[in-house]
C-alpha cells in the first residue's frame, strides 16, 4: 500500500494499541449504573466527551424521578438525620457558619440520595448542577455529596464535564475520589476548583 500516493497511515502500532486499550477500558462504564439528578433542564447531550465514539452509548445512565427524590427528602427520618448531624459536627475541628439545623438539612439530602440510589440500584450519582434543586430542598447538596463520597460512592456535580474522569479514577483506585474543573488561567497558573470534596481522598496515577 505504501506505493500508493493516496494512502496515508492513520495510526502507527503504538497509537493503534492505545486505541484498542481505550475501547476495552470503555467497557467498564457498562458495568456501572449512574443515576443522574436532573430536572430536565440540562442533560449530558451537550457534553463534548459524551459524543466520543469510544464512550457513546456505553454509559448506563438513568434520570431520577424528581418528585420521588423530593418526597424522599421530605420523608427522611428526622431522628436519623439529627443523629448524623451530631456525628458530623462532633467530627469537625471547628464549625463556624452552619447551624445544627443547616447540617440536619444536609443529612436529609444525604439520606434521600442514598434512598434513591438504592431504589434505582445505582452504583454512582451525578448532579447536573445542584442549583436547580436548592429552592425546593431549602439547602445546597454539596455537603451531602461530600459525605456520600466519603462512603465510597462515586458522586459528582456540575455540567457533566468531570463525570468521565470521576468514573475512571474511581474504577482505578476503588476509593473515594474528587474530580474538579479547570476554573481559570492566569499566566502559567491554572486554578482547579469545585464546590465540594470528600474529607477522605486518594490519588491515582494513570500509566
Predicted TM-score (pTM) of the model is 0.79
Share of the chain above pLDDT 90, in %: 38
The answer to whether position 206 is within a domain reads no
pLDDT digit string (tens) for 71-108?
999 999 999 999 999 999 998 888 888 899 999 999 99
CATH number, domain with residue 128: 3.40.275
pLDDT reading at 205 higher than 90: no
Residue 86 placed within a domain: yes
pLDDT at 204: 43
Q: Are 206 and 200 in contact (CB under 8 A)?
A: no
Q: Helix-strand-coil percent breakdown of the chain, rounded to 5?
A: 45, 15, 40
Q: Looking up cell 427522611, which residue turns up? A: 76
What does DSSP assign to residue 8?
-
pLDDT value at residue 22: 63
Q: What is the mean pLDDT of residues 55-67?
A: 86
Asked whether the predicted pLDDT for residue 193 surpasses 80, the reply is no
Domain count, the chain: 1
Whether 18 is in a domain gets the answer no
Cell of 21: 486499550
Angle value at C-alpha 69, between 59 and 135, nearest 5 degrees:
110
Phi, psi of 49 (to 5 degrees): -65, -25
**Could you give the residue ranges of the DSSP H alpha helices within the chain?**
13-26, 66-74, 78-91, 100-120, 131-137, 142-150, 163-173
Average of per-residue pLDDT values in the chain? 83
49-70: average pLDDT: 85
| Under 8 Å between Cβ of 61 and 34 | yes
The residue written with cell numbers 451531602 in the block is: 144
Residue with cell 455529596: 145
Strand intervals (E) in 162-201: 181-186, 189-193
List the domain range (segments joined by +) for residue 55. 28-193
pLDDT value at 206 more than 60: no
Question: How far is Cα 103 from Cα 12, in angstroms, rounded to an integer?
Answer: 55
Task: Tell me whether residue 89 is in a domain.
Answer: yes
Is residue 199 in some structural domain? no
pLDDT in tens, 122-158: 999 999 888 899 999 999 999 999 999 888 888 988 8
Whether residue 200 lies inside any domain: the answer is no
Determine the distance from the C-alpha atom of residue 155 to the mean position of all C-alpha atoms in its chain, rounded to a whole number. Answer: 3
186 - beta bridge partners?
Answer: 189
Amino acid at each position: 500500500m505504501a506505493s500508493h500516493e493516496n494512502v496515508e497511515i492513520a495510526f502507527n502500532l503504538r497509537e493503534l494499541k492505545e486505541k484498542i486499550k481505550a475501547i476495552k477500558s470503555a467497557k467498564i462504564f457498562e458495568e456501572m449504573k449512574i443515576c443522574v439528578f436532573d430536572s430536565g433542564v440540562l442533560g449530558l447531550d451537550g457534553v463534548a466527551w459524551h459524543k466520543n465514539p469510544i464512550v457513546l452509548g456505553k454509559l448506563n445512565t438513568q434520570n431520577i424521578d424528581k418528585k420521588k427524590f423530593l418526597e424522599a427528602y421530605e420523608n427522611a427520618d428526622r431522628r436519623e438525620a439529627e443523629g448524623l448531624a451530631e456525628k458530623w459536627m462532633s467530627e469537625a475541628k471547628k464549625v463556624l457558619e452552619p447551624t445544627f439545623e443547616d447540617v440536619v438539612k444536609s443529612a436529609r439530602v444525604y439520606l434521600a440520595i442514598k434512598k434513591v440510589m438504592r431504589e434505582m440500584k445505582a452504583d454512582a450519582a451525578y448532579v447536573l448542577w445542584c442549583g436547580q434543586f436548592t429552592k425546593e430542598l431549602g439547602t445546597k447538596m454539596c455537603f451531602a455529596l461530600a459525605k456520600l463520597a466519603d462512603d465510597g460512592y462515586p458522586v459528582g456535580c456540575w455540567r457533566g464535564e468531570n463525570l468521565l474522569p470521576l468514573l475512571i479514577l474511581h474504577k482505578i483506585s476503588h476509593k473515594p475520589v474528587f474530580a474538579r474543573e479547570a476554573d481559570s488561567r492566569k499566566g502559567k497558573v491554572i486554578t482547579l476548583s469545585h464546590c465540594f470534596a470528600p474529607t477522605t481522598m486518594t490519588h491515582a496515577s494513570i500509566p
